[in-house]
Chains A and B, each alone.
Chain A
Amino acid sequence: MTDVGRHPRIKLLTLSEVMEVKGYVGNFQVRIRKRARYVDENQCTACGECARVCPVVRPDEFNLGLSSRKAIYSPFPQAVPAAYVVNAGECLGHNPAVCARCVEACDKHCINFHMSDQEVVEEVGSIVVATGLETYDPTEMDEYGYSRFEDVLTSLEFERLINAGGPTGGELIRPSDRRKPRSVGFVQCVGSRSARKGKSYCSAICCMNTVKSTLSLKEHDPDLDIKVFYIDIRAFGKGFEDLYQRSRRLGVKYLRGLPGKVEPTADGRLRVAVENAAGGKVEFHDLDMLVLAVGIQPAGGTHRLQKMLGLQLTSDGFFLEAHPKLQPVDAATRGVFYAGCAEGPKDIKDSVTQASAAAVRAIRLMHQGHILTEPITSEVITEHCKACGRCAEVCPYHAITVDPKKKLPAVVNTAACAGCGTCAAECPFGAITMNHFTDRQILDQIDALLAEHSAEKVLAFACNWCSYAGADNAGVSRVQYPANVRLIRTMCSGRVDEAFIWHAFAHGAPVVLVSGCHIGDCHYINANHWTEKRVERVRKKMAKRGIRPERLQLAWISAAEGARFARVMQDMEDLRREVSAEEIAATVDLLAGNQAAAGTDPGKAEP
C-alpha cells in the first residue's frame, strides 16, 4: 500500500470519484471530483494532536461502529495517504470555523478550513475498473436476529473485533457484556445461494473465511466451543482443503443445516434452532455469539460507472467480461479492463492475479503509443446532404457538425464517431453511408434471408453488444428455442433504418423484431432511445396503412440474458403463427407499389 503513495508514476486521488468520461479508447478525458480533506495531505505527519482536542465523538466506520473516533481522524493506522481527514458533516462548523480547536492544535498548520471540493480533468488511454465489493446487509434476514441482538455480528464486524489493530486490540469479547465468549457459532451463506433473500450465487470467499476464523480462534483459545452451520463447505482452492481439515481436527464442529430461528435465553445467550440436515431433527444450540458469514455484492457505484463507460453487467450485477474464457479481464468497450471483485466474488489471490492481467492488457493496448481506429464509421455523401441537422441532433457522440442556418453540409469527425449508425438511419435524405453496414449490404442480406419460405420466418435485428451477445449466451447455455428466427447483426439497434423494416415486410416477412440493449445500457450512450422512437413511428404508420403494428416488435435483451433471448424468440414464433398467408400477401402487395416508386434509393423506401 505504501508503495502506491510513494510511487513517482502514480497520482493518487483519494476522496475522489469519477463524474464523467468522454472520448474513446486511447484518448479518454475523465472528470474527477475530489472532495476537500481540510488537511494538507503532504504536510500532515499523522501525529494526532488535532484529534485529541476535537470534541466530536462518532462511531468509527472502519471498525464498523465497534469503536469511536473524532470528527478529524485517521481512517486507520496504516492508511495511505497517512494524513488525517475532517468529516465536514460532523465538524461543529468549518466554514465559518466555529470550534477550530484542531487548527490551533496543529503546530505544522496543516488544517485549512478554506479548502473546497476540486474538479480535476485527467487524460488517459485506458481504464481499469477495480471498484470491488460490498458485504451483504443481513438486516432483512430477521430469523438470524442481526438487528435484534448485539452478539450477532457479520463476518466483517467479527474481522474487526479480532483484529490486533481493532477496537479491542485483538481480544475476543462479546459486544453485549464485554466478556470472553465460551462458544461461538458461524452461519454460512448469509445473503448467498438463496432464491428468497440476498443473492442466488455463491460468494466464493465466506467458507474459507470462516475456516480461517475458526483457526485463529482455536489458536487463541483451544477450549472454545465452535460450531459452523452450513449447506456445504466449498474449499476448492489451492491449500484450502488442508485448512478445512485442520479446523475439523482442532475440534470445530461442522453441522449441516442453516438456522431457522435465533432466540434469546434467560441467561443472555443465543438459542439457535437448526434442522440438522443429517438427521432431519430440529436441534437447539445455546451460544454466546453468532457470526453471519455474509456474502459479497457489487460496489454501490457500479451502475453509475456502467452507464458512464457503456459497460455491461451480469444478471448478478457484477461487470460482464468481453468473453468468459478468451478475454476474462477485458470489457466489451475497448480500452476498459476489470480487476478484482468488481468482476465477480473472488479472494485476494484471484483479485491480484486478475489485476496483473488487467495491467498487461492495458499495456498491450498502449505500448505502441498510437492506436488504430475501428474504420466502421459513418460518412456523409455531401451532394445529398440538405444540412437539415438531424444527424447532429441524434449522434450520441457529438461527432457531426452541420450548420442548418448557413446550409453548410454535415461533416463526420471519424475519430469521435463510434459507429452506431444512428445518423444513417435518421437522415431523411439518405445522405449518410454507414461503413460496413450500408443500406445496400443490409437490404441484400434481408433478401437472402427471406428468399425461401419467407412466411415461416421471423426477421430479427440484433445489436452486437447486447441482444446478439444474448443470442450467443443462449447458445453457450444450450437454451433451445424455435428455429424460425433469422438474425441480422448491426453494431447498434440505432442503425435499423425504417427502410429495412419496410423492406422486410415488402418481401414477405410475417414478423420483424428489432432488439438491442436495455434502455440505459446502450453501448452507444443512448442511441437506443432513437431506436425506440423510430419503431414507435413505424408502428403508427403501419396502423395507418392497415398493417397490424403487432407484427413489428421491439425487445431489449442484455448480453447475459440468454434465457430471455430464447423466451423472446418463442414469443416471436407465437406471433408469427397468428399472421396468415393472406395477411402477408396483402402487405406485400400494398408495399410493392411503394418500393417501385422509390426506385433504388432505400433512404426513400418508406411510405
Chain B
Amino acid sequence: MSTATEHGNGPRIGVYVCHCGLNIGRTVDCRKVAETAAGLDGVVVARDVAYACSEPGQQEIKQDLLELGLDRVVVASCSPRLHEPTFRQLVQSAGINPYLMEMANLREQCSWVHQHDPEAATAKAIDLTRGAVARVRLLQPLKPEVLPLTQRTLVIGGGVAGIQAALDLADSGYDVVLVEKNPSIGGTMAQIDKTFPTMDCSI
C-alpha cells in the first residue's frame, strides 16, 4: 500500500485544533497550535474550532474534507479513548477510510494537567500535534473483517443484577447461560426481607 493519494502529490492533511470551550482554550493557545500545524509537510488546512465534536464543529470539518479534497485528518482535542469513534465516523461519512484519522490529546495531556503553565502546555500541544501529523501521513487505510457471532450471553453471578440482565436478554429473544457459584440464585437480596425505599419484600 502506498501513502500517495489520488491527488498524486502526497497526502492532503487537515488539522483541527479544538478549544473544547475553555477546557483547552483557556490554557493552550489553540490558534498558535493551528498556525504551527499549517506549516507542516502535507498540511493543506489547519484551523482552530470551538468544539470539534459538536454538530457545527463536525460540519465544518466535513465541509473541508469534501471541498478541499482532504484525505487525512488530525483532530487535536481530547483523549482518543473518548472521541476516536466520533471522528472516525465523521471522516468515514466524507468517504475517507476511518483509520486515516489521528488524534492529539490536548485536553487530558496538556490543558488539564499543566493549568498553571500555558506556555509549556502550548509547546507540548504543538509537539503532540506535530507527532500526530507525522503519524497520519503514514497511516494506511484498514478494513474490518466480518466474522460470525454467537447470539448468546454468559451472565456471571445470579444476584438481582444477573437475574435482571438474564431476563431482559432472554425476553428479547437471546439465549443466556447464567452461572451462579452457590446452590441457588438470589444473591444478597434473597437474604433481605424488606427493602428500602419501598419497604416491601424483595423476592
Contacts and interface: CB of A to CB of B under 8 A. Distances in A.
Interface of A: 1, 3-4, 7, 9-18, 26-28, 30, 32, 37, 62, 75-76, 78-81, 85, 122-133, 135, 156, 159-160, 162-166, 170, 208-209, 211-212, 215-216, 237-240, 243, 299, 301, 305, 323, 326, 337, 339-342, 347-349, 351-352, 354-356, 358-360, 362-363, 366-376, 414-415, 435-436, 438, 440-442, 444-445, 447-449, 451-452, 457, 464, 468-469, 471-472, 474-476, 478-481, 483-484, 486-489, 566
B155 A475 contact: no
Contacts of B137: 444
B4 interface: no
Given A13-B177, A373-B145, A487 B164 contact: no
Interface of chain A: mostly helix, strand, loop or mixed: mixed
Interface in B134-164: 134-135, 137-140, 142-164
Nearest to B161: A340
Interface of chain B: mostly helix, strand, loop or mixed: mixed
7 contacts: A122-B154, A163-B193, A358-B165, A436-B139, A472-B81, A475-B109, A483-B121
B128 A486 contact: yes
A445 B165 contact: no
Given A348-B189, A475-B108, A479-B113, A371 B183 contact: no
Given A12-B178, A375-B143, A362 B149 contact: no
A164 B166 contact: no
Contacts of A132: 157, 159, 161-162, 187-188
Contacts of B81: 323, 464, 468-469, 472
Contacts of B158: 4, 12, 14, 130
Contacts of A80: 184-186
Interface residues of B, number: 90
Given A326-B82, A363-B169, A374-B144, 17 more contacts: A4-B185, A7-B166, A12-B178, A12-B185, A75-B182, A80-B186, A127-B156, A128-B166, A130-B156, A131-B157, A159-B193, A209-B196, A301-B181, A359-B153, A435-B140, A471-B105, A472-B105
Given A1-B163, A352-B160, A441-B138, A126 B193 contact: no
Contacts of B135: 441-442, 444-445, 448
B173 interface: yes
Contacts of B183: 14-15, 37, 75, 79, 85
Contacts of B175: 9-11
A216 B197 contact: no
A355 B161 contact: yes
Contacts of A566: 113
A339 B161 contact: yes
Nearest to B129: A448
Contacts of A130: 155-159, 161-162, 165
A127 B153 contact: yes
A78 B163 CA distance: 15
B186 A79 contact: yes
Contacts of B188: 132-133, 135, 156, 341
B185 A15 contact: no
A438 B138 contact: yes
Contacts of B163: 1, 4, 355
B165 A370 contact: no
Contact of B167 (A4, A367, A372): A4
A447 to B, nearest CB: 7
